[in-house]
Amino acid sequence: MINLINISKSYGENHAVRSFDLTIETAETTVLIGPSGCGKSTILRTIIGLISPDTGKVNIEGEALSTANLVSLRQKMGYVIQEGGLFPNLSAEGNVFLMARYLGWDKDRIEERIDELCELTKFPKDALNRYPIQISGGQRQRLSLMRALMLDPNILLLDEPLGALDPLIRSELQQDLKEIFSTLGKTVVMVTHDMGEAAFFGDKIVLIKDGQIIQEGNISDLIKTPSNPFVTTFINAQRNHLEIIGDI
Ligand code: ADP
Ligand code: MG
């Protein structure tokens, strides 16, 4: 479980996140959704300790995140940053095993893990020695996911992992990702701005506006008992995206 307790973060006059309280359940997928600039990425960066909030604290599996335990807690979390964040000068494989090698894993263990991950994410093994620029957009996202999963973290943080893909590839990857999440039983926090995607993945959907939670619940809660007119406006603006989950 992850607990965000009274998190606030400002940049000058700009309140990126305000008095944010959220419980993220173990082995569930929690989706953060809201308009661009509402604070979604800031929340993910706070969870993984890349940003220290102005107020509040983050508990990861009962342990408060601090400078003393940052490195060890980070290893419990896999993170796919917006736009993938692959190193262009490293091969596909080099991107994936970077941290494992740093931690002293031997060659056999690394190879075995990469084999497993290729199978899980359907990444073609014959593309492992190519550079990120030499593989397709969908494959790059599969690779970013492999990298995030390499150390077998309990928690997976994904910042708009499918944002830049064309619709067909995106829907294929959505199916595969959902299957991977249910197979692995990880605690997943995913950011998206697409309500269809949020409904497809989210055990819990957290709708954010101007750095604050407007409503949290499942898609049916948001549709049937909106806490605020913004919820309905936001959902209606994306009605066509909800076809993905059929009638509610
Ligand atoms: P989202 O991911 O929902 O699009 P972000 O969390 O990236 O939003 O940003 C929230 C707000 O904080 C935005 O107004 C953004 O411009 C601002 N912001 C984020 N990071 C910084 C930064 N490093 N410096 C200044 N402003 C920032
Ligand atoms: Mg963002």
Question: Using one digit for the tens of pLDDT, what is the confidence trace for 135-147?
Answer: 999 999 999 999 9
Return d(Cα 190, Cα 42) in angstroms, integer: 13
Residue 163 confidence (pLDDT): 80
Pick 1-76+156-248's CATH classification: 3.40.50.300, 3.40.50.970, 3.30.365.10, 1.10.357.10.
3.40.50.300
Collapsing DSSP to helix, strand or coil, 27 comes out as coil
Number of the ligand closest to the Cα of 163: 2
Number of the ligand closest to the Cα of 208: 1
Burial of 237 (0-12, 13-18, 19+ CB in 10 A): exposed
Domain ranges of the chain: 1-76+156-248, 85-152
Q: 9 C-alpha to center of ligand 1: Å?
A: 10
pTM as predicted: 0.93
Instruction: Find the mean pLDDT for residues 92-119.
Output: 96
Q: Residue 17 belongs to what H/E stretch?
A: strand 14-24
Taking a C-beta distance cutoff of 8 angstroms, is the pair 54, 46 a contact? no
Q: What is the pLDDT of residues 22-69, one digit of tens each?
A: 999 999 999 999 999 999 999 999 999 999 999 999 999 999 999 999
Taking a C-beta distance cutoff of 8 angstroms, is the pair 124, 139 a contact? yes
- Kindly give the pairing relationship between strand 29-33 and strand 204-209: parallel
Helix axis angle, 167-184 to 137-149, nearest 10°: 20
Q: 147 C-alpha to center of ligand 2: Å?
A: 20
Residue 83 confidence (pLDDT): 81
Tell me how far CA of residue 91 lies from CA of 24, 97, 103, 125, 240, in angstroms: 34, 10, 19, 12, 39
Confidence of residue 245 (pLDDT cuts 50, 70, 90): low
Atom 10 of ligand 1, nearest CA residue: 39
Collapsing DSSP to helix, strand or coil, 205 comes out as strand
Atom 11 of ligand 1, nearest CA residue: 16
Please give the number of the atom of ligand 1 that sits closest to the Cα of 211: 10
Q: What is the pLDDT of residues 220-240, one digit of tens each?
A: 999 999 999 999 999 998 876
Return d(Cα 125, Cα 205) in angstroms, integer: 35
Residue 124 CB less than 6 A away from ligand 1 = no
Residue 45 CB less than 6 A away from ligand 1 = no
